[in-house]
């Protein structure tokens, strides 16, 4: 096992995970590409798909939407999504006047049951600092330009509250089924760094 020069910058849990992965791959217990594929699937597909189903249901079912905004954890659990990092989920609704952006300035608190594992950019110190200092500029650089009259609210996730954004339902989606709506929703929209759009 070779020493990683970036090791000093990593927390102990990350170092242990890296050491375990190296040991298991060295001994042929797991293959790196299989492990990478599993992690990628959980980060980009499985976890965010749960959240997308929550959003789609809230868009088509006003009663569910009310419950979701009142008790995010309970309403999400109704759909079978719960577990570690899924406690105390507060749902923030985007409107035409208010856009919500989620960050965790101290670490990377994140609602895993509905978003999967946090992406690398979410844990990056630059994102964490700029989301608080210059959210409009940061969002524009990430591809989301908001009108000046849209108020951006930045929410700092913690162990006490993990935030989840209910994105604005896009125009032109009125005739879509719940399943079709869920297919439009991305992880980034549920963090607040993107909008949901109808494919042309």
Query: Measured at the alpha carbon of residue 188, what is the angle toward residues 185 and 189, in degrees to the nearest 5?
Result: 50
Neighbours of 169 (CB within 10 A): 20
Decide: 65 and 178 in contact? Cβ < 8 Å.
Answer: no
Decide: 197 and 184 in contact? Cβ < 8 Å.
Answer: yes
Which residues lie across from 99 on neighbouring strands? 152
Measured CA to CA, the distance from residue 140 to residue 79 in angstroms comes to 33
Which amino acids are annotated catalytic? 104, 107-109
């Amino acid at each position: 096992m070779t020493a990683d020069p970036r090791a000093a910058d990593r927390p102990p849990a990350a170092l242990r995970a890296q050491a375990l992965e190296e040991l298991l791959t060295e001994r042929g217990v797991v293959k790196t590409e299989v492990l990478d594929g599993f992690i990628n699937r959980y980060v980009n597909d499985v976890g965010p798909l749960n959240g997308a189903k929550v959003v789609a249901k809230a868009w088509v079912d006003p009663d569910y939407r009310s419950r979701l905004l009142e008790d995010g954890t309970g309403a999400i659990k109704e759909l079978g999504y719960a577990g570690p990092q899924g406690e105390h989920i507060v749902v923030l609704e985007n409107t035409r006047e208010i856009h919500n952006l989620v960050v965790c300035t101290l670490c990377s608190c994140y609602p895993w049951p509905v978003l999967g594992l946090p992406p690398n950019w979410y844990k990056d110190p630059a994102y964490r600092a700029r989301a608080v200092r210059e959210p409009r500029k940061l969002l524009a650089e990430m591809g989301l330009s908001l009108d000046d009259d849209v108020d951006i609210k930045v929410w700092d996730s913690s162990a006490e509250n993990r935030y989840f954004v209910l994105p604005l339902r896009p125009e032109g989606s009125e005739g879509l089924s719940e399943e079709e709506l869920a297919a439009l929703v991305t992880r980034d929209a549920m963090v607040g760094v993107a909008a949901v759009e109808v494919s042309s």
